[in-house]
Amino acid sequence: MEIKQLALITGVGKETGIGFEVARQLAQKNYQVIITSRKQETANLLAGILHHEGLDIVPLALDVTDELMVKGVADQIMEQYGKLDVLINNATLFPDQFHTTTADLADIRNVLESNLIGSWCTVKYFAPLLKKSEHPRIVNVSSGSGSFGGEGYSLVNPWRDIISAYSISKAALNAFTLKAAFDLKPDGILVNAATPGLTATHDILADFGGRPVSEGAKSIVFAATLPKDGPTGMFFKDGETVAW
């Protein structure tokens, strides 16, 4: 009997979100997918939708800003499955309009805690599970808004002319991706970042040219399904390496 690869996605909070669509696409590729939300009832509801599509989905509660909770989920997965093949750090607090000199620093800390430290936390505690996989991969869901180059919105061409805390957190996430790729390379763990591009996860983003979520999710799925000898420490969009 074929043993499915096991993927875990953080921050799956709504049906129109990137994480939900990535879960769908990976499950369609015969992965077993653990979707996590801050609230168990949210994870249960979203898993139910995908169950009706005949997909193998497991719902769990996980708040990436709660270190003890992250460790507890890692222990639970180790006990139940004994490994993890793919970790997708998708949990994100979204764009803001803070000015440098008027920002509430508590809000800035919340963004960094979710978008950067939360990913670092999951990598720390799930790495032992990934080391037990034959094809371990980590994908950090980033954004072109945290890049110095590439097409579309970036740090030098910010959306609505504001470099947000979100953008700064994604630039830091790209840097963390490179560090983790170096640190985990001896263990054979591929660590990459991917951007879905401007994607219509909210109606307003469609008005600004956001593409369908199904298209944006493909960048993350590409990085999550790289072969064992695939690249590490890269930043991908639509299967191509982009500048950051």
Ordered mean pLDDT values, 10 residues apiece, the chain (244 residues): 88 95 98 98 98 98 98 98 98 86 94 97 98 98 85 81 91 97 98 85 60 90 97 95 87
Asked whether residue 1 is domain-assigned, the answer is no
Asked whether residue 124 is domain-assigned, the answer is yes
Strands (E), 11-116: 32-37, 57-61, 86-89
Residue pair 154/166 in contact by the 8 Å Cβ criterion: no
Asked whether residue 193 is domain-assigned, the answer is yes
Write down the pLDDT at residue 17.
93
User: Counting runs of H as helices and runs of E as strands, what totals does the chain give?
Assistant: 8, 8
Q: What's the CA gap between 69 and 177, in Å, rounded?
A: 22
Total of domains in the chain: 1
Write down the pLDDT at residue 203.
59
pTM to 2 decimals? 0.95
Give the phi and the psi of residue 90 in degrees, each rounded to 5. Answer: -110, -15
> At 203, which helix (H) or strand (E)?
helix 203-207
Asked whether residue 189 is domain-assigned, the answer is yes
The CA radius of gyration of the chain, in Å to the nearest whole number, is: 17
Q: What's the CA gap between 29 and 23, in Å, rounded?
A: 10
**CATH number of the domain that residue 62 is part of:** 3.40.50.720
Write down the pLDDT at residue 36.
98
- Show the domain range for 98: 6-241
